A and B are shown apart, each in its own frame.
Chain A
Amino acid sequence: MQRIVFAAFMGCLGSFFISAQDTAELLNRMKAMEDKIKSLEGQVQELKGQQAALTAAVTAAPAPAPAAPQAPPAQTATVTPEPAPAGLAAPQMPSGPLPVYGGASAAASKVFNPDISVIGDFLGGIGNGNPRGTPSLEMHESEVGFQAIIDPYARADFFLSFGEQGVNLEEGYLTFAALPAGLQMKVGKMRAAFGKVNTLHNHVLPWTDRPLVTQNLVGGEDGIDDAGLSFSRILPAPKDLFLEATAQIFRGDSDDVFHAYKRSDVSTVGHLRAYRDITESTNIDLGVSYSRGHSPIAEPLINQLYGIDATLRWKPLRRSIYHSFVGRFEYIWDRAEQPMNIRTTPSGFYVSADYQFARRWFLGGRFDRSGRFNDAQLIDTGGSLILTYWPSEFSQIRGQLRRTSYAERLTANELLFQFQFSMGAHGAHPF
């Protein structure tokens, strides 16, 4: 019992000495902090005085000498206030934030990442679509784009399309923008420069679908899209005429159009484009195209495609965000060798017009007609009315009434609707 009392006494004594030590230390620290606060107060007063003097100097001389352009001060984004929210007055603060010079390095940590974008394309269909009906509802395609400058000589663009069934490399190519003699070279997988529609990705089409002539003769949605090399050059031409020649060579595999049975079965594409501004608001764009490759039917058979295209655009510059018109026309001939020394020569065309009648609204129409690859006598004819609404620059809602008379004496009447949306990097507007 005595031992316990002794132990308790010693414990209390120990804790007394410890707490006495703590208190002394605490007092010392508080004293140090007081001194520090006094010193800081002094510094604050001094800085306030300097700032007042600076403000007076700035007010007296509102136009200081310009900074040397070669050495802009480092950007200090954090000192800039956020834009004043709507409805609030932006306070005028002569002694406010320091000026910020240059804004280009805000994303410095990610600067070498490629620009990444995702475009979603949701498609639905109502009505009788026979014999080429599409699903009632589908996430038709999601296109992921990666784009970056590779080095001082080249840039690269990759577009992967994710369907509900799988992934496809839609395009992936390197562009050498400026080779000698004004040449530009692309290497990789790309949409061939055959006509207009074949070069366009789904999300920049003015319709929810592709015209009958593309579907019957030029490979449908994928089109002539193959691995190869492309060379193009702006040709000398009379003043104000833009003339561009493109020559492309591909492996020779493009779904329903060409097939390579051996290495030498390459396909070729040539395109000549002439463009001219008629006025500052109106311009015309004409093209002729040729493509040749081995037929998917059998090895010795050759398939040749010829095309002409014309585009008329109108966009009044002062009201360019409210009104525009685009008229398109494309005619394609196919000289397809068939077995038994038979040659079919189907052809087809589409003509379409799109008018933007308000900032967010577009009304369009299209008429198309085409023979079939394997039988030129089978003719499909279609017509469409299209209404498009843009909630913003980054999304689009579209409805298309489509009536198609197929060669099998079947008529399809459909309402197609589409939601498109874009995420990520701001892509260039199509032209």
Chain B
Amino acid sequence: MKGFQGLLSVALLIAIPLGTARLSLAASKLNIVTSTQDPSAITRDVGGDRVNADSIAKGYQDPHFVEPKPSFLLKLMKADLLEVVGLELEIGWLPPLITQSRNAKIQVGANGYMDLSRFCEILEIPTGQVTRAMGDVHPLGNPHYWLDPENGRRMAKAIQQKLAELRPEDAASFAQREADFERRLTDSEKRWDTAMAPYRGRKVITYHRSWPNFAKRFGLDVVDYVEPKPGIPPTPSHTLELINLMKREGIKLILVEPYFDLRTPNAIANAVGGQVVVLLPSVGGVKEVNDYFQLFDYDVNLLTTAFAKTK
């Protein structure tokens, strides 16, 4: 009998929330959640005031290691669209958030789940055998692809088409804003290309493999990394090799993401008479970088200043 009382109490626990469920009213704006700040910046440019775009990870935190906090579920449960970087960048934290969001629209494979890597040029897709002896490799390719403006253009186009599909009545507005984004991007690219042109072919060291698309786009030559392998912290022997390499090849710049410790890069820079540049891989990396254009403005400005100083 008491067992049946238990059953009854469970039924009540289920029934109460069902009863309190609110009717979802058609929202005036599309709610969009992105895994990192770069897609949300582009989405805001394309969607304008017809969308609310919010990101989970901040631009100044390591996007590989984000805590799946329940507060993110509050954003995800109301989302019409979830945009992810993909290529397993978010594999350690996003899947449980998606499952727990109780939102059918954004489940993997649903119409409101958008993997932006599908539309972009992906570099460093490993060929041959991949093992974790190689460090924390991304078997589907390097996920830091948004750092090439050409990929930003592809992302904007893809986002525009997805927004138009979800909100056909605003399609014209999205198309017009996307065309404006492309026009501004083309103008900005000329500016960035001109600024970076004198430094094409310059050799640099980076902390993590965050910059293949950026380096390819602007003609930088990433010779080695502070991490001996992706995701493996610097080791004394590798640091020594790096110092010798930089001395031998006359490399002066070490590019570091804002979430890595600067002690090892600074020690290397001191040993070779070089310079550490904290370059932003994402929008939101510092307060004044709030959109996709400001991200490249900031990075190109930092780099050209540093290149000019170090020769």
Contacts and interface: CB of A to CB of B under 8 A. Distances in A.
Nearest to A302: B2
A63 B185 CA distance: 10
A183 B122 contact: no
Given A90-B222, A242-B71, A104 B121 contact: no
Interface residues of A, number: 90
A77 B124 CA distance: 9
Given A248-B10, A359-B233, A275 B70 contact: yes
B122 A102 contact: yes
A271 B234 CA distance: 44
B173 interface: no
B297 interface: no
Nearest to A99: B121
B241 A87 contact: yes
A235 B17 contact: yes
Contacts of A99: 121
B228 interface: yes
Contacts of A231: 10, 13-14
A103 interface: yes
Contacts of B21: 180-182
A249 B98 CA distance: 25
Interface in A146-200: 149, 152, 155, 175, 177-184
Q: What is the interface of chain A mostly: helix, strand, loop, or mixed?
A: loop
Interface in B186-231: 186, 189, 193, 201, 203, 209, 212, 215-216, 219, 221-225, 228, 231
Given A100-B123, A180-B21, A427-B92, 4 more contacts: A86-B238, A247-B14, A319-B261, A393-B231
19 contacts: A69-B154, A69-B158, A69-B161, A87-B241, A90-B215, A100-B125, A103-B86, A103-B122, A177-B107, A240-B74, A242-B74, A273-B70, A313-B67, A320-B66, A322-B261, A392-B231, A393-B136, A426-B92, A428-B95
Q: Which 9 A-B pairs have the closest CB atoms?
A: A247-B13, A178-B104, A69-B158, A103-B141, A181-B21, A264-B3, A317-B61, A242-B70, A103-B122
Interface of A: 62-64, 66-70, 72, 75, 77-78, 80-84, 86-90, 92, 99-104, 106-107, 149, 152, 155, 175, 177-184, 231, 233-236, 240, 242, 244-245, 247-249, 252, 264-268, 270, 273, 275-277, 280, 283, 285, 292, 294, 302, 313, 315, 317-322, 359-360, 392-394, 426-429, 431
Interface of B: 1-4, 6-7, 9-10, 13-14, 17-18, 20-22, 58, 60-62, 65-71, 73-74, 77, 86-88, 91-93, 95-96, 98-104, 107-110, 115, 117-128, 132, 135-136, 139-142, 150, 153-154, 157-158, 161, 182, 186, 189, 193, 201, 203, 209, 212, 215-216, 219, 221-225, 228, 231-233, 238, 241, 245, 258-261
